[in-house]
Amino acid sequence: DADVTQTPRNRITKTGKRIMLECSQTKGHDRMYWYRQDPGLGLQLIYYSFDVKDINKGEISDGYSVSRQAQAKFSLSLESAIPNQTALYFCATGGGGGRNTGELFFGEGSRLTVL
Amino acid sequence: QKEVEQNSGPLSVPEGAIASLNCTYSDRGSQSFFWYRQYSGKSPELIMSIYSNGDKEDGRFTAQLNKASQYVSLLIRDSQPSDSATYLCAVNWGSGGSNYKLTFGKGTLLTVNP
């Protein structure tokens, strides 16, 4: 089983619908991140969390919200999806237990298409 | 705006050659730098990290850092077709020992031709 699991892996939805992408990890990491990847634009940070009570906006947080339900779970929500939110979304984890190396471990990605 | 710039590529090299990937960053205060490899349709995976000026070697990979020039590079020796992927440069902007916030470059697509 993957250490960082994202669900769903693929989702097609319509404009205006609410969508939640979920991420869970078994690595025991404190830090969790949501990134968005668009062709030619690299990875852009949406939100990040350094522990359960810590939520921070990234570079492109408008139109998104997150919830850190537990150390191991970090969800990304699109309250009212729009077509330009069509992208590949990655959850990543890192750090914890003195292992603050900066290395991030990525989930397999969730491909979202908004029609 | 903290920026990380990479050669857009694509970069094509013959098998056995040295592939050179370059990255510049805008914030002089950055302390840690990473190279991730991403195969088509897959998630990024870390291949090198570097924190001090100079070279760091790991097998066929060498990362080079020059903080004065705000430049980091990745050399792949004896390139193999399996090295064909997009290489992402990432820079940590976070303050403090554990507050890692990575900004990624747009990536360079490398193709190694047999």
Give pLDDT tens digits for A38-60.
Answer: 987 889 999 999 889 999 999 89
The three-class DSSP label of residue B20 is strand
Beta-bridge partners for B12: B111
Decide if B6 contacts B89 (C-beta within 8 A). yes
A109 in contact with B, Cβ within 8 Å? yes
* Subunit contact A45:B44, Cβ cutoff 8 A: no
Q: Which two tokens stand for residue B5?
A: 């710039």
Nearest to A109 by CA among A10, A24, A14: A10
What local confidence, expressed as pLDDT, does residue B93 receive? Answer: 73
* Subunit contact A43:B34, Cβ cutoff 8 A: no
Measured in whole angstroms, how far is the alpha carbon of residue B82 from the centre of its chain?
17
E strands, B15-101, are 19-25, 33-38, 45-50, 54-58, 61-66, 71-76, 85-92
CA of A85 to nearest chain B CA: how many angstroms apart? Answer: 18
Task: Band the pLDDT of A1: cuts 50, 70, 90.
Answer: low
Main-chain dihedrals φ then ψ at residue A23, nearest 5 degrees: -140, 130
- Owner of token pair 């730098």: B33
What local confidence, expressed as pLDDT, does residue B2 receive? Answer: 77
Residue B37 DSSP label: E
Q: Which two tokens stand for residue A41?
A: 């634009």
Q: What is the mean pLDDT of residues A98-112?
A: 81
- Over its C-alpha atoms, chain B yields an Rg (Å, rounded) of 14
Beta-bridge partners for B38: B86
Nearest to A89 by CA among A42, A17, A34, A16: A34
What local confidence, expressed as pLDDT, does residue B32 receive? Answer: 87
Rounded Cα distance, A17 and A84, in Å: 13
Q: pLDDT (tens digit, 0 to 9) for every residue of chain B, 114 residues total?
A: 678 999 878 999 999 999 999 999 998 888 889 999 999 989 999 999 998 899 999 999 999 999 999 999 999 999 999 999 999 999 987 655 556 778 899 999 999 999
pLDDT of A79 strictly over 60? yes
Decide if B56 contacts B84 (C-beta within 8 A). no
B90 to chain A: nearest residue by CA?
A: A43
